[in-house]
Amino acid sequence: MKRFVLILWLCWAGMCARAAIQVKASAPDVVEEGEQFRLSFTINSQDVGNFRLPDLEGFNVDIGPSRSVQSSIQIINGRTTHSSSVTYTYILSALKAGDYTIPAITVTVEGKPHRSNPLNIKVMPGSGGATGQGSRGGSQGGRMQMQDAGTKITGKDLFITVTADKKRLYEQEAVVLTYKVYSLVNLSQLAGDMPDLDGFHIQEIALPQQKSLKMERHNGRNYGTVVWRQYVLFPQRSGKLTIPSIKFEGVVVQQNRNIDPFDAFFNGGSAMVEVRKTIVAPSLTLEVDPLPAPKPANYSGAVGSFNISASLSPEEVKANDALTLRVTVSGNGNMKLMKTPLVDFPKDFETYDAKITDKTKAGHNGVSGNKVFDYLAVPRHAGKYTVPAVEFCYFDTGEKKYKTIRTESFDVEVAKGKNTGGGSVNYTNKEDVELLASDIRYIHLGDAALRPRGESYFGTAGYAWSYVVPFLLCLGCAIVFRKKALENANVAKMRNKKANKVATKRLRQAAVLLKSNRPEDFYDEVLRALWGYAGDKLDIAVAELNKDNISEKLLAKGADAEVVKALVDTMNECEFARYAPGDPAQAMDKVYMAATEVINKMESSIKR
């Protein structure tokens, strides 16, 4: 009896758990003229009636409908779900190129009418019989086709194009660079990285790891296409800047039709052959115009389109209590390169460096989002103060002129704090202390030194040395200061001398970021330490700073080849850990130790 009741309860629960009725139509988005494809209608119920396909423009019904039924019961954590569906499938063929719509159909499900979703299908012209036929292969429905083993892969079968959303732009203006693959073959792997670019700041746009091809017509043929890489570039100088060609290493799978399947099964071997193919993406030249002169004195270095806002919390505080001014700059442009806005707090406020929160993201329209600047300030005395409006000057690429935007100003009421006392004044910060009653002095106490009458200090040895010693001291100081001035005038020597000190300071900051578990900021700081050390040590300008120049000049200075290789490997490892998919925090300790060790080795290697 209990078992019977349990079965009834399971059936009732399954009926209650049924989903809402849906009639879903599905078909490819793009097909070729003359290509056959499937059109399916799936209904999540088996009680279906009055199913009829309307007349279709541009398509011929070759087969169908074929009807298939599915049913399942699941029990998860004591909860029972019952699902059933029926699918009607047609095989259609495209008659003529163009854009067509398969209209929604109306069917009766469980005694009530329900409508499906309409479908838009693009029919592309055929590839002249080459698609999917013979040994040449081709693309069909955006799917790469199999070639026969030994077939030559030409530049028309597989190639990469590079395009920029603009060819002429201003210095620091964003340009989106797109590398797109066109394929008629079964491409299984493709590898290639953007080289170091002189004169550009680069941010890669995150694309899906799983690539899906879309059919696109190019030069009279239908290719399977996919955007492989996208970058946002910010030119750092004006003039004609060239993005060099990039070599991609691809692997194409071909079919070996001559192999005996039984021989391959028992003796090893494969009916598939992998062929390596080098694909070269062409170079591209951009015309970069300098920003108009003269630049405003308060120019922030930002180029693009921006807005600014600010908030103050709290607006009523006590003396020696902290308040926070939050300034938010949002928009689209070179947000990682702009300067921190300046805030003119009242002189009585003790201020600290701004905390910066970067909420920007590289996308198809460039780098957009916002950067938040939190300024901490501590008023030291009671009173009414005004925090003036914060100005932000940028170059607007749309209007092609400099624009200044401002926040609102804030009035702050500062009450007396606990440590300020009733009427006492605390001169601890930025106050001029006045010396009162300076005309009254204490009477000097103690024994007076007496000297015999007629004795004179003039002409004695002490008198002569009182002239000689200051003269020698002045001469020595002049020689030392002149030597120091000559050393400071040698910029290259000073950069070389301070390279290790600057790098060590940046690595200490990286260690703080490591303990705080901030991977993105950590890798940026380590990269700045490595690149900055190499540039300062070798006196290389930022525009010419790349790994090839660093390796060449270090070897010329007598550095060990292994140490130079370790430096380059550490840079590559840091960049890989920064941009590779996965958890970047896993490699932070390893990258920090490698960076510290390679700088120490490089310092001792160059000194020898």
Write down all domains in the chain, each with its CATH number in brackets: 2-124 (2.60.40.10), 139-289 (2.60.40.10), 302-415 (2.60.40.740), 491-607 (1.20.120)
- Determine how many CB atoms are found less than 10 A away from the CB of residue 4: 8
Q: Are strands 299-313 and 323-333 parallel, antiparallel or unpaired?
A: antiparallel
Give the residue from 105, 88, 82 showing the smallest Cα distance to 16: 82
Using CB atoms within 10 Å of the CB of residue 139, give its burial: 0 to 12 exposed, 13 to 18 middle, 19+ buried: buried
Q: Are strands 316-318 and 410-415 parallel, antiparallel or unpaired?
A: parallel
pLDDT at 130: 38
Contact 291, 235 (CB under 8 A): no
pLDDT at 492: 52
Which residue ranges in the chain fall short of pLDDT 70? 1-19, 78, 127-145, 258-271, 419-444, 450-451, 453-459, 486-499, 542-543, 577-587, 605-608
Residue type, 120: N
How far apart are alpha carbons 338 and 590 in whole angstroms? 31
pLDDT tens string 408-431? 999 999 998 775 544 444 444 444
How far apart are alpha carbons 388 and 213 in whole angstroms? 55
How far apart are alpha carbons 192 and 203 in whole angstroms? 16
Give the residue from 139, 458, 403 showing the smallest Cα distance to 292: 403
Phi, psi (rounded to 5 degrees) for 148: -75, 145
pLDDT at 341: 94
How far apart are alpha carbons 414 and 345 in whole angstroms? 14
pLDDT at 178: 94
pLDDT at 192: 85
Whether this prediction's pTM lies above 0.85 is answered by: no
Give the residue from 304, 247, 256, 241 showing the smallest Cα distance to 277: 247
